[in-house]
């Protein structure tokens, strides 16, 4: 499958730092190549970079990205996740698997320009809910769950077990 990128718009560093961090972590865990965030936030870049450094993978983060330009210049399919869009189960079969995807996730009220610029406006349910949940469900369904337990060759690996926490570090 081609690359999946996330575009987070409306990030407010003082108010949204935890939510945007979880958008990035969820998208990384579920197979996205990276995230673009409209507001500059060097702390967020450092924190996500630290996770990638420890747990591996090729995930990238860039903040301070002009979202309008990103929507205009992206070479691939632009998908906006919104509760007002086409139902996910109806939209999934029509999402091209041969093109890169840019998945737009809003923080505050999304400008009408985003709805117009998107190739697809897709809803993950039509009730108010978390953008983290919507993104996770979308990515999991899009990739058939293939990335949940993939090895990313990190310095640290979590070993699943029924009880307890097992983390293996390549340093020991």
Number of domains in the chain: 1
CATH number at residue 138: 3.40.1280.10
- According to DSSP, the residues that pair with 9 across neighbouring strands are 106
pLDDT digits (tens, 9 = 90+) for 46-75: 999 999 999 888 999 999 999 999 999 999
Q: What is the 3-state secondary structure (H, E, C) of 27-62?
A: HHHCCCCEEEECCCCHHHHHHHHHHHHHHECCCEEE
pLDDT digits (tens, 9 = 90+) for 156-166: 788 888 888 88
Which helix (H) or strand (E) segment holds residue 87: the answer is strand 77-87
Give pLDDT, residue 172.
53
- Domain hosting residue 106, numbered range: 4-169
- For residue 126, what are the CA distances in angstroms to 27, 85, 121, 129, 144? 21, 8, 12, 9, 22
pLDDT digits (tens, 9 = 90+) for 74-126: 999 999 999 899 999 999 999 999 999 999 999 878 999 999 999 999 999 88
Give pLDDT, residue 10.
86
């Amino acid at each position: 499958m081609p690359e999946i990128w996330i575009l987070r718009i409306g990030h407010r560093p003082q108010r949204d730092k935890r939510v945007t961090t979880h958008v990035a972590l969820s998208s990384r865990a579920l197979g996205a190549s990276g995230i673009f965030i409209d507001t500059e936030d060097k702390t967020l870049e450092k924190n996500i970079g630290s996770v990638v450094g420890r747990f591996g993978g090729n995930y990238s983060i860039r903040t301070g990205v002009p979202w309008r330009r990103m929507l205009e210049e992206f070479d691939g399919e632009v998908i906006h996740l919104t509760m007002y869009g086409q139902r996910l189960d109806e939209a999934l079969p029509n999402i091209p698997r041969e093109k890169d995807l840019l998945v737009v996730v809003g923080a505050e009220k999304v400008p009408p320009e985003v709805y117009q610029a998107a190739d697809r406006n897709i809803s993950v349910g039509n009730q108010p809910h978390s953008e983290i949940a919507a993104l996770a469900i979308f990515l999991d369904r899009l990739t058939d769950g293939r990335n949940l337990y993939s090895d990313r060759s990190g310095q640290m690996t979590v070993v699943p077990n029924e009880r307890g926490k097992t983390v293996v570090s390549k340093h020991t």
